[in-house]
A and B are shown apart, each in its own frame.
Chain A
Amino acid sequence: MSEETAAPPGLRAAAERVRRRFTRVHFTTWVAVSALPLVTGSLLGTPVWGEVTLGMLMFVALAAELLVSAWWFDRASRKVWQSAMPAGHADATAPGSHR
């Protein structure tokens, strides 16, 4: 492996930790919600607030989970990446900063 392509020590491990955490949370949530009809049957169609059903509330929660976890992943990945840059270069090489 050439010197040019070496990643700083710990960067790969930190990036992998962030990726695994997001994958675990995101996919566990989505698989669980997708599989709910298998165990709950028509319970998800139960009205909880006017015409709004349990299933609809679940989809709202799912959308919130998607947005929040995606935002967290983006932010955590950026932090990992910036911490690996040499002092004084992190901001200068941040995506979009030179534009």
Chain B
Amino acid sequence: MTAAAAVQTVAATATDAAPLVAFLLVVSVTLLLCFLFGLDSEGTDDLYVAGRSLRPWRNAFALTGDAISVLTLLSTTGLVALAGYDGMAMAACTAGALGVLLVLARPVRNVGSFTLGDTLDARFRHRSIRWAAAVATLGVCLPMAVVQLTAAGYAAAALLGLSGTAAGQVCTVFIGSMMICAAALTGMRGNTMLQIAKTVTLFACMGLLVLAVLTRWEWSPDRLLADARAGSLDSERYFAPGMLFSSDAAGRFELVAAQLTIMLGAAVMPHMIMRVKAAEHGASARRSVFFAIAMTGVFCVMAVVLGLGSSAVGAEAPTSGFDPQSAAALLSLVNSLATEWGGDLLLAMTVSAVFLTSMTVVAALALSAGAAVVHDVWVQGVRGGAVAAGAEVKAMRWATPLVGVLAVTLAVVAQSWNIQFLTQAAVGASASAILPALVFALFWKKCTRAGIVWSVYAGFGSCLLLQFFGPAVSGTPGALFPAVDFAWYPFDTTGPVSIPVGFVAGWAASRLSSRGGRPESEDRYADVAARAVLDQENRQLVSRT
């Protein structure tokens, strides 16, 4: 049975009303939350960072929600079902990535007001950095949103008992419309409530599924592992590295490269940066990341159990880990378990979790992208900050839906294309463009404006270039353009080249641009470094005594 056939089977059996009722319930509750918590966002502080008021646990739940996208939910399970060890390694990296954010949390929260551009520009105060930050934000957020919407539409159609590209497109438009409402109405405060609701729903759903899996295998990990191995594509190699790419040296290198790219890129995406800035203190930002690490770790363990269960029930694994049909693994498992465990209820819970997961993350991405356009480009880049707060909020109310409409349109157009590589591209761009710029801006005294700008453009540009000339776009049967072959870069993952390029370009540009004198930004570094370790109120307290 192929992956597509597995989804067709799910679609054929999932024709009860419960998933639809669950969906409508989720829609109602979501809209209620949007109205309750979103419409009072009046100032920019409220709109972008929820008034910097979030306590550690609340922010941790929201951060966990931001970290777990619909692709994390569906693909992680699919990857474990498909590739055993390699899938587990990728799941581990999802949690490990937050370790990067843990180190950056306090400085990122304290340096700069709202956006990635604010943090990067804190020392330099130049519009070129604002433009670079906006390019990086849009370059990461838009592809991520498109892939999320496509995957969500695909999964939603299957869970609602529909099949075919048109059904996926309709579901994508529906989820996208909800997302646009959520993003336009709520701002960060409402988005936080949605993320918390999503995290709770998701954990409840996955907990129930894990319980069902363990019960079916009589709480015997040995039996579950043995059946998972038996149900896999290659029982000899299932628990050894090499099933995701290939077992030769190149395949193993690509696995390592993919893991490190996720580790370095997944946690510094623009919406995660904005989330950290919403914490009430620098210390509370750090603590919320610590809690989020623990929660994401629990999620990954549950995803691994579900992936093993999926392989064990004989669910057909996807043909490629980054195939849109990797959703098939979780959906087939739910379909199989539903006959024993609550039937429609289990299916309805999964539908709710998938809807909420896709909608909240895309809303967060749209908020970040809208903030980059309005705050970084228009307010700071074009008008030099001379825009009233009311006008900025009004502009955001238009910009966020426009970004959402663009993402939904692209997702509908690309519904039948193989665009899963965009996820790798977005994570790779984040690791290659955003991480080097953040590290230089926050921790390197000799960094200059040119260094920041070049690390962003060189990292982002090299990532795009290598992705375009890689096997994900042409030259392979699963590529975006399978009929032509202009690929010369051998790997799906661009990180091994583009991440060093981002760092080296930033370092070289800083060195070259600071020749012949001490850059002004070096003087401002002490201020940024002080802000990175002390919150505003503490700095005043220390200076008074």
Smallest Cβ-Cβ distance to B283: which chain A residue: A95
Smallest Cβ-Cβ distance to A13: which chain B residue: B533
Q: Closest CB-CB distance, A45 to chain B, in whole Å?
A: 3
Smallest Cβ-Cβ distance to A62: which chain B residue: B92
Interface digits, A1-29 against B, CB 8 Å rule (1 contact, 0 not)? 11111111001100100010011001100
What's the tally of chain A residues with a CB closer than 8 Å to chain B? 54
Decide: B252 and A63 in contact? CB cutoff 8 A: no
Q: Closest CB-CB distance, A52 to chain B, in whole Å?
A: 7
Q: Closest CB-CB distance, A7 to chain B, in whole Å?
A: 4
Judge if B542 is at the interface, Cβ distance under 8 Å: yes
Decide: B88 and A66 in contact? CB cutoff 8 A: no
Give the distance in Å from the alpha carbon of A66 to the alpha carbon of B301 in the complex. 14
Give the distance in Å from the alpha carbon of A30 to the alpha carbon of B89 in the complex. 11
Smallest Cβ-Cβ distance to A89: which chain B residue: B541
Interface digits, B511-545 against A, CB 8 Å rule (1 contact, 0 not)? 00000000000010011011111100111111101
Interface digits, B290-311 against A, CB 8 Å rule (1 contact, 0 not)? 1001100100010000000000
Q: With A45-B240, A56-B239, A66-B96 given, is the CB distance from A86 to B222 under 8 Å?
A: no
Interface digits, B260-294 against A, CB 8 Å rule (1 contact, 0 not)? 10010000000000000000111110110110011
Decide: A38 and B252 in contact? CB cutoff 8 A: yes
Decide: A7 and B55 in contact? CB cutoff 8 A: no
Decide: B541 and A96 in contact? CB cutoff 8 A: no
Q: With A1-B530, A55-B88 given, is the CB distance from A19 to B103 under 8 Å?
A: yes
Smallest Cβ-Cβ distance to B252: which chain A residue: A37
Decide: A93 and B538 in contact? CB cutoff 8 A: yes
Decide: B527 and A56 in contact? CB cutoff 8 A: no
Of B31-39, B241-249, B499-507, which binds chain A?
A: B241-249
Give the distance in Å from the alpha carbon of A31 to the alpha carbon of B543 in the complex. 41
Decide: A86 and B542 in contact? CB cutoff 8 A: yes
Give the distance in Å from the alpha carbon of A56 to the alpha carbon of B229 in the complex. 14
Q: With A5-B539, A30-B96, A37-B252 given, is the CB distance from A73 to B221 under 8 Å?
A: no
Task: Please name all residues of chain B whose beta carbon is closer than 8 Å to the beta carbon of A71 when the two chains form the complex.
Answer: 290
Task: Please name all residues of chain A whose beta carbon is closer than 8 Å to the beta carbon of B527 when the two chains form the complex.
Answer: 1-2, 5
Judge if B421 is at the interface, Cβ distance under 8 Å: no
Q: Closest CB-CB distance, A23 to chain B, in whole Å?
A: 6
Decide: B540 and A22 in contact? CB cutoff 8 A: no
Decide: A23 and B103 in contact? CB cutoff 8 A: yes
Decide: A55 and B241 in contact? CB cutoff 8 A: yes
Among B93, B280, B283, B297, max chain A CB count under 10 A is at B283
Q: Closest CB-CB distance, B264 to chain A, in whole Å?
A: 9
Q: With A23-B103, A35-B256, A42-B237 given, is the CB distance from A77 to B542 under 8 Å?
A: no
Please pick, from B88, B106, B260, the residue contacting A77 in the complex, using a CB distance under 8 A: B106
Judge if A91 is at the interface, Cβ distance under 8 Å: no
Task: Please name all residues of chain B whose beta carbon is closer than 8 Å to the beta carbon of A66 when the two chains form the complex.
Answer: 95-96, 99, 293, 297
Decide: A7 and B293 in contact? CB cutoff 8 A: no
Judge if B345 is at the interface, Cβ distance under 8 Å: no
Task: Please name all residues of chain A whose beta carbon is closer than 8 Å to the beta carbon of B203 when the two chains form the complex.
Answer: none
Q: With A86-B542, A86-B545 given, is the CB distance from A7 to B239 under 8 Å?
A: no
Q: With A37-B242, A93-B541, A95-B280 given, is the CB distance from A51 to B222 under 8 Å?
A: yes
Q: Closest CB-CB distance, B120 to chain A, in whole Å?
A: 19
Q: With A51-B222, A66-B99, A66-B293 given, is the CB distance from A44 to B542 under 8 Å?
A: no
Decide: B530 and A86 in contact? CB cutoff 8 A: no
Task: Please name all residues of chain A whose beta carbon is closer than 8 Å to the beta carbon of B88 when the two chains form the complex.
Answer: 55-56, 59
Task: Please name all residues of chain B whose beta carbon is closer than 8 Å to the beta carbon of A37 when the two chains form the complex.
Answer: 241-242, 252, 255-256
Nearest first, the 8 closest Cβ-Cβ pairs linking A and B are A45-B240, A51-B225, A37-B241, A42-B240, A7-B530, A95-B283, A95-B281, A86-B545
26 residue pairs bridging A and B, Cβ less than 8 Å apart: A5-B526, A6-B542, A6-B543, A7-B542, A12-B533, A27-B99, A31-B260, A41-B240, A41-B252, A42-B237, A51-B221, A51-B226, A51-B229, A52-B225, A63-B95, A63-B297, A67-B293, A73-B286, A74-B287, A85-B538, A85-B542, A86-B541, A93-B537, A93-B538, A94-B283, A96-B55
Binding site for A on B (CB under 8 A): 55-56, 85, 88-89, 92-93, 95-96, 99, 102-103, 106, 221-222, 225-226, 229, 237-242, 247, 249, 252-253, 255-256, 259-260, 263, 280-284, 286-287, 289-290, 293-294, 297, 301, 523, 526-527, 529-534, 537-543, 545
